[in-house]
Chains A and B, each alone.
Chain A
């Protein structure tokens, strides 16, 4: 029987609650956003006693469905001030689902100045003294927990920036190889730090199988779904071979690769850090793996294990966004340097998108030279990682750096750093950045698929025509997919292969024993997205916050010399549904 764990950090209690009927078929983003919208006062301080940190596995997590192992974390974001959902691979989504934990809601703040480790079992949560973990970065926390328990223990942890409530702090999740995946965006690590929770350990002893109401129907749909993943050239071949970083070259050729803090749309040294180069580098080194899954049951395997020329581990989960941010936007040409900085961000526990975008702004401010990978690594470990005064300015995010140094070229929306696609030359993603409920976030409505990659049709990236409708449709669909626990990359086959989306919906229907159509699935996305928007409105956000920074209107970007030219009225059309 599914249950909800309600953890109160003020009186150090855990109540085990029944799942309300209206939550029965929810999961992932749908559930975290529903709980945050209902229980978190929009005007509260994100680091104060009234914010709540909610974890929920996806609707299909823990089942045999391929690629369903994503965990959602939700709260009011200390970075954006908006509602936030950030999902991650790792091991905890499947553990929670198999333990029957529909959600864990963490509320209140401790009365004492004392750090805790929450220990989650089938029976509830206990509050363990975490003083021996305080001051440790993430890899040491994971190692300590593996020694204390064994490698089966699930771990979610924050590093020193999270302890110090820096707004770029993430929640790091142990992956199947004892390394790290992250609830990256929005500073949810700072929320965990504000509640004095250094780590969460998950002991899944006694967990069973996730109940499936109609196993035969589920098996049949799961087979169709998995076949779609493997048949589609992006999820079946492109992603597993080159990883997400294959995008460097295509965005460069299309003139949409933000370079030197969004000054240019192409980069001369792009091939030094491209997916093709990365693939050959990994394949040519001992112990490197060009394929890796972020959770058990992933059949796409778009990730990798990156080693040095002696075969020593440098990093894994080294994604396009991070490579772009460091290698292109900061002009760090050495891929090994970029990999070491990625590993440092995993270790200290900051979002590798925010971390890379803020570094470029710091370079523009003169804090460190353009392209200096060694100094960037030092700043990560010695300044942000140790929360020095400079590290706090930087670690509070891109907007913080811009304000501290009086800059105007600060790529943020709702104070969250803009990811790896220039909104002037890929206009659909600009609409998503501007309007998403989450602050600038490419995954919220990934128009790159249709603007650049010609998946799900084609909408000219340099034209305004059709972009609002494209972003709207993708934001609705993404909200629904983020609720399933599925990797967002299932969208590639879902956009192109007619059988895939119905198979996903059939799995949901079979899992819960309900009738469900594709229209119902879309309606869920619509409902949750509107709920998030309404909560943001109560938190004080208006349409005027759905705007890109002014410099995108003022500075044409080569090579297309495109500017951001949507009117406010055109942008606001997104919400007319």
Chain B
């Protein structure tokens, strides 16, 4: 299945901003992180359709996953 992955802040370094990716059925957010060589503790926020999802979230064909490292401001 195909999903779109959007990366932000330091996750873009030596990677990409937006990319469509082929992933196996039942792939999770964790699987995507592993494929991108991002360790679990580095993840700040994962969002799908503007909703927070946990690393074990199972992706669905056509979804857009937005990944952020730990960021803040105010």
Contacts and interface: CB of A to CB of B under 8 A. Distances in A.
A433 B52 CA distance: 23
Nearest to B72: A234
A425 B52 CA distance: 13
B9 A244 contact: no
Contacts of B15: none
Most buried by A among B6, B9, B10, B42: B9
Contact of B10 (A237, A244, A319, A448): A237
A302 B73 contact: yes
A241 B49 CA distance: 27
A458 B53 CA distance: 11
B71 interface: yes
| Category for how many chain B residues contact A | 20 to 34
A302 B52 CA distance: 26
A449 B47 contact: no
A212 interface: no
Contacts of B69: 233, 237-238
A488 interface: yes
A451 to B, nearest CB: 9
Contacts of B71: 234, 238-239, 242, 246-247, 250, 453
A523 to B, nearest CB: 25
Most buried by B among A276, A319, A460, A489: A276
Given A237-B10, A250-B8, A276-B8, A455 B72 contact: yes
Chain A's interface: helix, strand, loop or mixed, by majority?
A: helix
A492 B72 CA distance: 8
B45 A250 contact: yes
B9 A246 contact: yes
Given A238-B9, A253-B6, A489 B47 contact: no
A454 interface: yes
A442 B74 CA distance: 8
B24 to A, nearest CB: 25
A244 B74 contact: yes
Interface string A257-268: 000000001100
B73 A239 contact: yes
B44 interface: yes
A275 B10 CA distance: 11
B50 A233 contact: no
Nearest to A452: B45
Contact of A233 (B12, B47, B70, B74): B70
A454 B72 contact: no
Interface string A541-577: 0000000000000000001100000000000000000
Given A255-B50, A489-B74, 11 more contacts: A232-B70, A238-B10, A238-B70, A239-B72, A250-B68, A275-B73, A443-B74, A458-B52, A460-B52, A462-B51, A488-B74
19 contacts: A232-B70, A233-B69, A234-B72, A239-B73, A241-B10, A242-B71, A245-B73, A247-B74, A250-B71, A253-B6, A253-B8, A254-B47, A276-B9, A448-B74, A453-B44, A455-B72, A488-B74, A492-B72, A559-B49
Interface of A: 232-235, 237-239, 241-247, 249-250, 253-255, 265-266, 275-276, 302, 319-320, 425, 442-443, 446, 448-449, 452-455, 458, 460-462, 488-489, 492, 559-560
Q: Nearest 5 A-B pairs (CB), nearest first?
A: A244-B73, A234-B72, A233-B70, A255-B50, A238-B71
